[in-house]
Amino acid sequence: MVAAAVHPWRETHNVNKVTLEDVAGEAGVPPATIYSNIGTGDGLIQEVVKHLPNEMLNKQWAVVESDLPFPLKVQSVFSGKMPTMQDMQIKLLDKFSTDSVVRQYLDGVYEAEMKPMMTAIVGEGK
């Protein structure tokens, strides 16, 4: 369901224009399903803010674990962050620093995913 919210947000470039009903339509589920699983528009934003970094990390780990030459890995990992960040709007980016649930989640992602990824890249570069 969360992934279903990403598409209309990317299309409209405005999280305020996408309703939970729009997301339900995109996901092919009744609006009540969205309301019972997500709750509110803010809850949906919170879940999308969690989803987008995971989407980016999955792509980056695939590059880190690939057979690409080291310079291409480094370039791909760092350039891969830019499109994801460009898709985010101020309201979503604001959640990164102001929402305690999202902040705690992202701190965990940093510890569990980003640090090991950077350690792997640096280790390979040595």
pLDDT digits (tens, 9 = 90+) for 24-42: 888 899 888 888 888 777 7
Residue type, 71: P
Containing domain of residue 111, as a range? 2-125
CA dihedral 47, 95, 53, 104 (to 10 degrees): -80
pLDDT digits (tens, 9 = 90+) for 36-77: 888 777 787 777 777 777 888 888 889 889 999 998 888 888
Q: Please report the pLDDT score of residue 78 as a whole number.
A: 77
- State how many domains the chain has: 1
Q: pTM here? A: 0.59
Q: What is the CATH number of the domain that holds 9?
A: 1.10.357.10
Which residues touch 82 (CB under 8 Å, ≥6 apart)? Answer: none
Report the b/e string of 87-104 with b at 16+ CB within 10 A: ebbeebeebeeebeebee
